[in-house]
Amino acid sequence: MIDAGHRDRDGRVITLRPVDDDNWRMVADVAPRDDQRNWVPALAARYLLLTMRGDVWRSLAVYADETVVGHVMWGVDDDGSHWIGGMIIDATEQGRGIGRATVATLAGWLAARDGKPPVRLSYHPENKAAAALYKSLGFHPTGAVEDDELIAELTASPRRP
Ligand SMILES: CC(C)(COP(=O)(O)OP(=O)(O)OC[C@H]1O[C@@H](n2cnc3c(N)ncnc32)[C@H](O)[C@@H]1OP(=O)(O)O)[C@@H](O)C(=O)NCCC(=O)NCCS
């Protein structure tokens, strides 16, 4: 479990936990709003299949106290950089500070790993919510673009949400 002590606006503790035999169905059912499907798949199930089918990405369940509220994944690139991807906060749980707490928790954990690796992520330039969130936590565009998405790197210690 990754627990940096961050809470959402309702005071629930946000933790990141492995996907296991008990929670995988709830993680698979995590769904964005319909208007967000330009940026992410209709269900987190797609990300679970991606992480199962390869060795690059690892899925994590996002918990608010003991409730599954989202999915996020991380991976290590050939150059040693660490990446955050596949973040979906369930449509019913958005706007409560969970996305902010999730990125702060995972970015801090990745940045503290051996060798203090660069931490990167990417987002579509029209995904304003994601862009604002990442920027406010210290991710800045590197100028690189991949698959129509802007790549951003953490350039400051992630702040507390
Ligand atoms: C992006 C996402 C993860 C944010 O999760 P969330 O739990 O709703 O976000 P939070 O409540 O923690 O808000 C964090 C910040 O996101 C931004 N944000 C969230 N919703 C927003 C909206 N509707 N419009 C603009 N900005 C928004 C704000 O900057 C907000 O800052 P604040 O804390 O000062 O209000 C969520 O909207 C989501 O799952 N979207 C669909 C999937 C997606 O786009 N994933 C990212 C792919 S790169």
In a domain, 109, yes or no: yes
CA of 42 to the centre of ligand 1 (A): 17
Output the pLDDT for position 36.
94
How far is ligand 1, taken at its centre, from the CA of residue 29, in Å?
A: 19
- Would 6 be classed as within a structural domain? no
Report the CATH number at residue 89: 3.40.630.30
Q: Please check whether residue 112 lies inside any domain of the structure.
A: yes
Give which of 51, 94, 96, 53 is closest to 75, Cα–Cα. 51
Asked whether residue 122 is domain-assigned, the answer is no
Task: Name the domain count of the chain.
Answer: 1
pLDDT for the residue numbered 160 = 55
User: Quick check: is 154 in a domain?
Assistant: no
Taking 50 as the pLDDT cut, the residues of the chain under it are: none
pLDDT of 12 reads: 98
Whole-angstrom Cα distance, residue 49 to residue 36?
A: 20
Give bridge partners of residue 14 from the DSSP assignment: 64
pTM: 0.94
In a domain, 158, yes or no: no
d(CA 68, CA 76): 25
Is 46 part of any domain?
A: yes
In a domain, 70, yes or no: yes
Q: Which domain holds residue 60?
A: 14-117
- pLDDT value at position 159? 58
Ligand 1 atom closest to the CA of 136, numbered from 1: 29
Report CA(53)–ligand 1 centroid distance (Å): 28
